[in-house]
Amino acid sequence: MQTRGALDITEERPLAGRLAGALYLIGAATAIVLIFLPGIDITHPWWILAIAVLGALWGTAALVLVPWDRVSPVVSHASSIAGFPTTALAVAFTGGATSPARFYLFFVVIYAAYFYTRRQVMAYVLACVAVLALPLAYDGTAVSDGLLGELLILFPTFVVLAALMAGGKQLLVDLHETAHALARHDSLTGIPNRRALADLLDAKLHTSDPPESVALVLLDLDGFKSANTLYGHPGGDRVLCEIAAGLERSTRDADLLARLGGDEFAIVLTGLDESEMRTLADRLLAEVRAVGGRLDMPGLHLSASVGWAVAPDDGRNFDELFASADVALGKAKATGKDRAVRAPERVATAEARSRRPGVLSGPVTS
């Protein structure tokens, strides 16, 4: 199974960005304290101060200015990676192999292990070990100060710490995705629910330049109450599941079928013209009647009423489009059921056409 990082969840990005900002501010404050802490070998205090100022500036920006929910995860990686050279410089200017600034890298490992994928975490662990080993290149006392032994201890410590954090993080990501899926799907039929429908429809309606028409179809079963009356709630549940499966077969992969509650379903479609919408409506009505015939439930006679609306003519947001489709659905029920009606703006035209044979006089669309 391919692992994912917490940054793959949009809601986690603000937490990652603000936590990075807090760590930068902590690092900046620590660097300033090191300048005045007795017993620390400070070789370039002004460079340390400059690093602290830059860290404080970025930390403040990350906390209060950067819109982390709208920026790419690359920005978080850039922020994390920038911590390596600044930490390496801080270590070099505050004692090298004995610098307390080295232990700031523990925070980097913990941060990376939570927010990044396992492969990325291992890269960060190796980078941390490389920063810890740098004093070997310029500090003549690094070996005698025990840096090699320290590296032998810290490297497996970092690996184990990263593995534990990444494993816990992966569990949280999996739980989040499971909860997210359950919140957006109907528990009985397994198809998306009203929330998922509203989110998708809003997303399609708020695109700056929609390439295709967006339609909302509402479908309500006629005679469903008799299923519960004759066969109890288990029988009613069976009807709903079979209807959901039948409607899925009657729609395209690109369409979204959702159960709104009770015996009402909805479909979001794109790219269909008026003629294609009428054909689809006929197919939906026929499928409901066919499901009723296949259920082998004597006394149950199933049909459906359908109303649909198309944006932007019938509504420019979810509420407007839903209201238009709902009025059309009511019109379909009021004119005899087992039929489909276009949105309110066209109801008058439909009524005018109803005087012609075959329109609004049976299970056909108008």
Check residue 359 and give its pLDDT: 33
3-state DSSP assignment of residue 358: coil
Longest dimension (CA), the chain: 101
| Tokens matching residue 12 | 């986690």
Structure tokens at 262: 């009770």
The answer for residues whose C-beta is within 8 angstroms of residue 105's C-beta and 6 or more apart is 87, 128, 131, 132
Does the pLDDT value for residue 214 go beyond 50? yes
How large a percentage of the chain has pLDDT more than 90? 39
Which pLDDT score, from 0 to 100, does residue 360 have? 31
CB 253 within 8 A of CB 273: no
Q: Give the three-class secondary structure for 62.
A: helix
In whole angstroms, give the CA distance from residue 38 to residue 21.
Answer: 28
Q: Which residues pair with 220 in a beta bridge?
A: 264, 305
Contact in structure between 102 and 84 (CB atoms under 8 Å): no
Alpha carbon distance 159, 153 (integer Å)? 10
- Phi, psi at 266, each rounded to 5°: -145, 155
CB 188 within 8 A of CB 237: yes
Please give the pLDDT value at position 166.
78
Of 104-108, 114-118, 327-331, give the lowest mean pLDDT range.
114-118
Q: Which residue from 362, 356, 308 is spatially nearest to 336, judged by alpha carbons?
A: 362
- The arithmetic mean of pLDDT across residues 219-229, rounded, is 89
Residue 171 or residue 132, greater confidence: 132
CA-to-CA distance for 163 and 259, rounded, in angstroms?
Answer: 41
> What pLDDT does 271 receive?
85
pLDDT digits (tens, 9 = 90+) for 146-192: 899 989 998 999 889 888 887 877 777 777 777 777 778 888 998 99
163 contacts 171 by C-beta, under 8 angstroms: no
Convert the pLDDT of each residue in 182-199 to its tens digit: 778 888 998 999 988 888
Amino acid letter, 254: A
345: confidence class by pLDDT, cuts 50, 70, 90:
low
Cα(37)–Cα(357) distance, rounded to whole angstroms?
95
Per-residue pLDDT reduced to its tens digit, 27-52: 999 988 888 888 788 888 899 999 99
For domain 194-353, the CATH architecture is: 2-Layer Sandwich (3.30)
Model confidence at 131, in pLDDT bands (50, 70, 90)? very high
| 3 state DSSP class of 344 | helix
DSSP assignment string, 72-105:
-HHHHHHHHHHHHHHHHHHHHHTTGGG-GGGGGH
Residue recorded with tokens 């569990």: 171
Measured in residues, the chain has a length of 366
pLDDT of residue 366: 37
For residue 182, give every residue at least 6 positions away whose Cβ sits within 8 Å of its Cβ, in sequence order, or none.
none
| One-letter amino acid of 131 | V
Q: Does the pLDDT value for residue 5 go beyond 90?
A: no
pLDDT of residue 364: 37
Question: Which tokens sit at 277?
Answer: 């919408």
